[in-house]
Structure 1
Amino acid sequence: MYKRSEVKNIVLTIMSQLMPKDVQISRIEFEGPEIAIYIRNPKILAEHPEIARDIAKKLKKRIVIRTDPSIRRSKKETEEIIKQLVPAEAGIKEIKFDDVLGEVIVKAHKVGLVYGKGRSIYNKILAETGWRLNVVRVPPVDQRDLDTLNKIIDYMLSQSSYRLNFLRRSGERIHRGVIFENRYVRITGLGGFMEVGRSAILVETGESRVLLDVGINPGGDGFSFYPRLDIEQLKPEELDAVVVTHAHLDHMGLVPYLFKYGYRGPVYVTKPTRDLMVLLQLDLLDIMQRGNQKPPYTQLEVKKMILHTIPLDYGEVTDIAPDIKLTFYNAGHILGSAMAHLHVGEGLHNIVYTGDFKFGRTRLLDKANTVFPRIETLIMESTYGDRDQPRRDVAELELISTISRTIARKGKVLIPVMAVGRAQEILLVLVDALNRKLLPKETKVYIDGSIREVTAIHLTYPELLSAQVRSRILRDENPFDHENVIRVEGKQMREDIAKSDEPAVILATAGMLNGGPSVEYLRMLANDPKNTLVFVSYQAKGTLGRRILDGEREITMVGDDGRLELVKINMEVKSIDGFSGHSDRRQLLAFLANIKPKPKNIILNHGEPQAIHSLAEAIRRKSKHLGLPDVRVYTPSVLDSLHVAGHA
């Protein structure tokens, strides 16, 4: 239940801000992390567009202003007004209505033109119709590639009443007020400590329990596939929130599993993470089912998760529990990847969890953020904590050289890639090389798996990409496309490509050869020494990619007839470092040198033991140079707990 004093303070603050402006309030609701103010006089918002911002500043909470359903115009009238006010150049493709939340979803090519300068059109539409605009960008791609995104929007609209009830239930939990006064913060590693994969971290206070990421282990099986969700203090139904930093399976692959076992709370993500997460989870289910593996959850749990996601923008401070505020910051790892800043209590403790991050610009993304309001404890990934990577331009030249050499001998280049991030980075490099004639003009680039759909989602969120890529997309260009880039349609086309005499480049998922079309191509291409297998990303321990990288040249695979066959790796095997979305040792140390303010505690995770111990030693040795003279560096294992503030 709410604390009466807190509710009273919220209501009085809202009334004091709105009453002098003749805003006719019909009711005030707690909807998830937001306080929703329902009004009957939306015209006042056109005169005072700063109202919500001023209340949010006073209360230090997220505010949304909705209109009372009784004053909203009909859908037909609203559509006509939108089309009158929005310039034709915006390219409106579709208009849909959310009756429950009072939102009108407008799908258009140019989002900015729909909102208007300074959100002038947004405010005018709200004032004249009573409906709030929610604009979704429609990139100039094959609409099949937006199928998942459209289904997410349609499903959420069809379940609006459920979603509103969920938001109000979670709002009651978030804004209930602090009950317990024992002031402590405990961090427990459930996965991804002294290892790469199955990332999951439990943060506990006297009042709340929050789970940071919940992924699978791509190289694990059986018990090691899952994080340690079986510990006594983790009961899904008692969790206050799940925070997902980015859409790679080792960080979000098991989120629907929580809903299977009783979790009914919110999942906080960025918008691209929501879309990519759903796409990759459904892809995982498909791969496991085709491989006769029993999936840990079904599409039903994925759908339930969709209804419980709450998307946040970078820099948006959000209450996720009575004593915890969450803010996302750009991590530079993949589209929508975020560092999670947790502000616990009234200044009790501040945690920054980096997730996976890149402290260096790439063709695709800007580098990770380094400035935070406060930090006492930093949980930092250490994937490449024991090594430096080549510069990106050097890696690109090596890739183009390797492809050219293989094409010259009439071979095929197989590049296993993660559908999110690495695929788009490599596509940018290959398209640029084709445009600059660094590759033979007849070189075909085949893309297989979910790469096209994932790339379409990148085109939907250009504001989160690097300035160079963003500017091209906003000019209605597709920087990932070229006439030589060809989408693979089905198993037969895959076999035809592999059997043909045509030299080619093949980008296929998954990046660690742990399922998907990349494994099928490997089986068909491995025996021919003219071909080349190129690794451009980290290969986790236990995966087929890691085994081949470590020298294994005879592997057992399932053939077309379902029988096991021995496959000899006669093709050239090449690993090109420098394309990773992770920070290398040099970048990790540079991040610590630049971070502001400086943390008192550093907890290293997401790395194999050698990488973590090497980085920990380097931090201690260089602590004064890094501006961290008194820092404490921790290297816990899975199931270790650290009290970083107070005592339980």
Structure 2
Amino acid sequence: MTLPSDILDKNRKSLVESLLKEIPPELNLSSIEFEGPEIVLYVNNRQAIIKYFDTIKNIAKKIRKRVVVRVSPDARLPPEEARKKILELVPKDANVDPNNIIFDETLGEVWIKAEKPGAIIGKGNIIRHFILSETGWRPVPLRASPLESKMLNAIMSNLLKQSKYRLDFLRRVGERIHRDVIFKNNYVRVTALGGFMEVGRSAILVETRESRILLDLGINVGALNDPNRAYPILDLDSIRVDELDAIIVTHAHLDHVGLVPLLYKYGYRGPTYMTRPTRELAAIMIQDLIRVSRREGRELLFGEKDLSTMILHTITVEYDEVTDVAPDIKLTMYNAGHILGSAIVHLHIGMGLHNIVYTGDFKYTNTRLLDRAVDEFPRVETLIMESTYGATKQQSRMAAEQQLVDIVKKTIERKGIVLIPVFAVGRGQEIMIVLNEAINRKLIPPVNIYIEGLINEVTAIHTEYPEYMSRSLRDVIYRGENPFTSDYFKIIEGDVAKPDIVEDRPSIIIATSGMLTGGPAVDYLKLIAGDEKSSLVFVGYQSEGTLGRKIKDGMREIPTVTEGRVEILKINLEVYSIDGFSGHSDQTELVKYALNIKPKPKNIILNHGEPEAIHTLARILSRAVRDPSSGYSGTPNIYTPSVLDSINLTAPR
């Protein structure tokens, strides 16, 4: 939608006038800029920032916008002087590396890597604001991790190189977000583009008269040979990249983020919103998908260049942080408990017109890795809830861990190999923690645990962001007892199987992919499939049509192609499936979430589940919400849409 400049300027002019009335003259304001969701005040008197810190916070609350203070370039200390001042101001126990203080002169930021980045912030942000006031550079604390992430380093390096473009991009986005709302009489409609009555290719279009945003845009990795099932439906008239205000990604699994680079290939230059861990993890997962697809002779619809463009246009948000993503839509992300950085999305649409909570994938119980999903929100009219295990009750986490320990112990005793296919993000790290503790508690003998390189790279991101992990695990890491750096873990470099590793018996191999859709796990399976002493252990969901699902369901003769010849791979090893490690809520937890959510929604839309799971959950929920003890004063509408169905959540006026 092309908007006249006078309409575009009206709302920003009003905001600027409001700010000018509130900003203390002593700050010596040089300019006001709209940079993405933030309104940035550029000031010349940096020393006055500390004095008026509370005033600026109150201004932000008053206008209900994110207000950031930056110091004008001429008022900043030269980088070398600023580096010395930073080292004086930051407590010594932060352990800042002077060589890892990096200045972004375009944005006026300084990236400070420390073993304890919290010491750079200080109580109530006091140290961070002292650094800004004393040097003129806005500090961005980063964690010095014991496991270095190559992907994080590459992302930060590229953002620094592209800083000028990034600033221009943020200002273009700022103009679009803070434009005036033209249509006062509004409506809200959601359209299922993928991931409804199925698992995979999640994508939802949310429309108002004013805005269009996408919630997730994923790939069904188990159906890449069938484009009709692999990709969301994007050829609707309403999907025009120039009219799309934002993409919001809940988490880094490929069925939720895997197709986002394609929009950038076809010209989308708007923002993609996600948490910081999701940005790094998504880059790792998509890059691996591109690499593995090429190795297997299967070209994707996009490449590394499109992935880089996506990352360049990504705006990261923190949990519980209200962010404007369109003139009539505010976004808040909350912990989903699924994987590191996973988020439940809350959309506040219009001036109280409608509120949507989209769970994405979520876990409504504490795990070793993450705290359970958030269930309290300011307002909720519509809940869009995943239903992967809507027809299934999982065993308890404790029972799942005991079952894994028993399988590993038995396999080790007969000198076999335990192959555990995992999703690189989340499941791999949880299994690492469980096995390391089992060895330390002498529940299983000490053996080598081989960790594929992709999983290790993902684990490095976990060590960068302990604040996103469970309270108990976070405390352990802060004490310097990092379970991810155990001596039992042996890193396998590269993304193909190493035949000599299966000669180390007994041992454990943790490798991707979790559904055996490709990757080293498939190669290791081929090497040990005929060994009756070894075990294959599934610890995650196996989608319909994947090799993992076929083996789980009993297939024991697998056709494979080797050098152009079709051969039959016989599965003689023992096969186990443990559901209790899932990062998804089971039927009991899903019902409990729908009953516990506050406030109670008027609409419940079920997605991300096979038809049996969704229909079963819908029947159970329908009974549960009618119970007088449920907390519902009226019976909510329960929807079970299919792909391409649309639901009008408010009546057009």
User: What TM-score, normalized to structure 2?
Assistant: 0.96
1:32 aligns with 2:36: yes
Report matched runs for 1:391-430 at 5 Å.
Answer: 391-430=396-435
Report the counterpart of residue 539 of structure 1 in structure 2.
Answer: 542
Report the counterpart of residue 195 of structure 1 in structure 2.
Answer: 198
1:623 aligns with 2:644: no
1:138 aligns with 2:144: yes
| One-letter code aligned to 1:121 | I
Report matched runs for 1:479-490 at 5 Å.
Answer: 479-490=483-494
1:574 aligns with 2:591: no
Structure 2 contact 46–71 (Cα < 8 Å) conserved: yes
How far 1:497 sits from its partner (Å)?
Answer: 1.1
Question: d(CA) in 2 for partners of 1:54 and 1:228?
Answer: 44
| One-letter code aligned to 1:321 | A
Report matched runs for 1:189-338 at 5 Å.
Answer: 189-220=192-223, 221-223=225-227, 224-338=229-343
Question: d(CA) in 2 for partners of 1:341 and 1:409?
Answer: 51
Which range moves more in the overlay, 445-454 or 337-346?
A: 445-454
The root-mean-square deviation of aligned C-alpha atoms, in Å, is 1.4
**CA deviation string 1:24-49 (max 9, x = no partner):** 11111111111111110111112222
1:153 aligns with 2:153: no
| One-letter code aligned to 2:354 | H
For the residue of structure 1 that corresponds to 2:436, the secondary structure is: helix
Question: d(CA) in 1 for partners of 2:120 and 2:598?
Answer: 37
Report the counterpart of residue 176 of structure 1 in structure 2.
Answer: 179
For the residue of structure 2 that corresponds to 1:36, the secondary structure is: strand
Change (3 A) 1:396 1:74: same
How far 1:494 sits from its partner (Å)?
Answer: 1.8
How far 1:115 sits from its partner (Å)?
Answer: 2.2
Change (3 A) 1:552 1:324: same
**CA deviation string 1:102-124 (max 9, x = no partner):** 00011111101222333222112
Report the counterpart of residue 94 of structure 2 in structure 1.
Answer: 90
**CA deviation string 1:34-72 (max 9, x = no partner):** 111111011111222223321210110111111111111
How far 1:492 sits from its partner (Å)?
Answer: 8.1
1:635 aligns with 2:637: no
User: What TM-score, normalized to structure 1?
Assistant: 0.97
Structure 1 contact 449–509 (Cα < 8 Å) conserved: no
**CA deviation string 1:139-175 (max 9, x = no partner):** 122x3xx111011001001000100010111111111
**CA deviation string 1:213-252 (max 9, x = no partner):** 0000021123211111111211122210000000000000
Aligned residue pair count: 641
Structure 1 contact 243–268 (Cα < 8 Å) conserved: yes
Q: Is there any run of 5+ residues in structure 2 with no aligned partner, and where?
A: none
Report matched runs for 1:473-622 at 5 Å.
Answer: 473-490=477-494, 494-498=498-502, 500=503, 502-559=505-562, 561=563, 563-622=565-624
For the residue of structure 2 that corresponds to 1:107, the secondary structure is: strand
Report the counterpart of residue 353 of structure 1 in structure 2.
Answer: 358
**CA deviation string 1:474-508 (max 9, x = no partner):** 1222122322111112478721012x151111100
Structure 1 contact 36–63 (Cα < 8 Å) conserved: yes
How far 1:562 sits from its partner (Å)?
Answer: 6.1
1:123 aligns with 2:126: no
Structure 2 contact 388–613 (Cα < 8 Å) conserved: yes
**CA deviation string 1:419-455 (max 9, x = no partner):** 10001111110011011000012x2211114111111
Which range moves more in the overlay, 265-274 or 460-469?
A: 460-469
How far 1:600 sits from its partner (Å)?
Answer: 0.4
For the residue of structure 1 that corresponds to 2:582, the secondary structure is: coil
**CA deviation string 1:78-111 (max 9, x = no partner):** 1111112123321223011111110001111110
| One-letter code aligned to 2:618 | A
Q: Is there any run of 5+ residues in structure 1 with no aligned partner, and where?
A: none
Structure 2 contact 110–138 (Cα < 8 Å) conserved: yes
For the residue of structure 2 that corresponds to 1:297, the secondary structure is: coil
| One-letter code aligned to 1:299 | E
How far 1:261 sits from its partner (Å)?
Answer: 1.0
How far 1:593 sits from its partner (Å)?
Answer: 1.6
Change (3 A) 1:241 1:492: closer
Question: d(CA) in 1 for partners of 2:239 and 2:9?
Answer: 29
Report the counterpart of residue 104 of structure 1 in structure 2.
Answer: 110
